Amino acid sequence: MNEPRCAELESFFEPVVEKEMKSHGTPGVCFSVVKDGEMVYAKAFGVKNLRTGERLTVDSLFHMASLTKPLVATSIMQLVERGMVDLDAPVVEYLPYFRLRDPRFETITVGQMVNHTSGMPDVIDYEWDNPVYDDGALERYVRSLVEEELLANPGVEYHYSNMAYEVLGDLISKVSGDTFEGYVEGYILEPLDMKDSTLLKKKADPKLLTTPHVVGNGEVVISEVFPYNRMHAPSSTLISNVIDMGRWAITNLNRGELGSNRILEGSSYDLLFDPWRGFHEEGVDTFHHENQGSQTMYHGDHETGNGLGWFYGVHRGRRVVYHAGRDTGFRSYIALLPDESLGVVCSSNFDQAPLVTSAKTALDVLLGFYPTKLR
């Protein structure tokens, strides 16, 4: 790793992390920082489990929640490049059994689902306490949506929808002839040597898996459930660590290339990272958007919005592309500055951990803005 950059992060970034952890009661958090095609920093803070006190390592595995969604968007773009999917085609062209009570569902396109402009609602209950594990779980979920109604006309408004991403995962499965998890493993995780990562909880190394923590009766406690349910794999179930996710960050900063492997053509990132078909929100700063269940973006100082599977905004006058994740007991964040070839990944085993502040601090340090106190 780059020693000068590590020293800067140790001096200016780590005190912020430690103060944030203490003030929020965060059990553990891990970070990796990439710059110019290499990982320049990776570090674990705190413990995997408050009860046992076992220390986290950079290899520790976390439920990454909505950081799964950019993998879905990448999978869709791979199928687009291979001529197997058209972003402007109706979803029903690929999934004839996809039905909603609302007749407007027939006009929903693939691109609108990826872009969160399909008008579909969000998932209310993920049933983490009653998970299913079989190959047919995703199709059954899609077939169960027949009583759902749209929140808006397709293509008109932004409504963040995990439900739409479950449909996209089933579409990937049916078009490719593989399970959703099998496709992502074969076309993304394996080519990028993300060897510890999986979408199937039963395949995760139990010795590396981290314990989820939540607030209960006013204190931080171990969650009674682990957030896994195979019918929600496309929206939520990536399990990974900051080392593997650092490789994912480098690949996206390199516009689809890592070493000798290329998973996407560079031109596809013009759709993934930029406003899609002109849709954006005026006067919103999505860099602060952490609540993935929200139906609207937070207001701020910049003109920002969403591409395909990614959000974009501005940080210190630089373009930032990012995604956040949050489920019971876990939080995650990835932020990329493509024009600076700079990125940060962070994950926590506590769903109240303030990862955005820490991520922005890491970016600041590498950009030459050295914090003296928490903002």
Q: So where are the chain's domains?
A: 3-68+181-367, 71-76+87-177
Give pTM, 2 decimals. Answer: 0.92
Neighbours of 102 (CB within 10 A): 17
Q: How far apart are CA 57 and CA 50, in angstroms?
A: 15
Query: Would you call 144 helix, strand, or coil by DSSP?
Result: helix
pLDDT single digits (tens) 152-211:
999 999 999 999 999 999 999 999 999 999 999 999 999 999 999 999 999 999 999 999
Task: Taking the CA atoms of 267, 270, 273 and 276 in sequence, report the sign of the dihedral they define.
Answer: negative
Q: How far apart are CA 316 and CA 367, in angstroms?
A: 9
Query: In the chain, count of helices (H) and strands (E)?
Result: 11, 13
The pLDDT, as a whole number, for residue 275 is: 75
In CATH terms, the fold of domain 3-68+181-367 is Beta-lactamase (3.40.710)
Mean pLDDT of the region 292-313: 56
pLDDT single digits (tens) 224-276:
999 999 999 999 999 999 999 999 999 999 999 999 999 999 999 999 998 76
Q: How far apart are CA 119 and CA 102, in angstroms?
A: 11
Confidence of residue 370 (pLDDT cuts 50, 70, 90): confident
Partners of 34 in the β-ladder? 39, 343
H/E element, 142? helix 137-143
Neighbours of 38 (CB within 10 A): 13
Give burial (CB, 10 Å; 0-12/13-18/19+) of 91.
Answer: buried
Secondary structure of the chain: what % helix, strand, coil (to 5)?
Answer: 35, 20, 40
Percent of the chain with pLDDT over 90: 84
Mean pLDDT of the region 119-124: 96
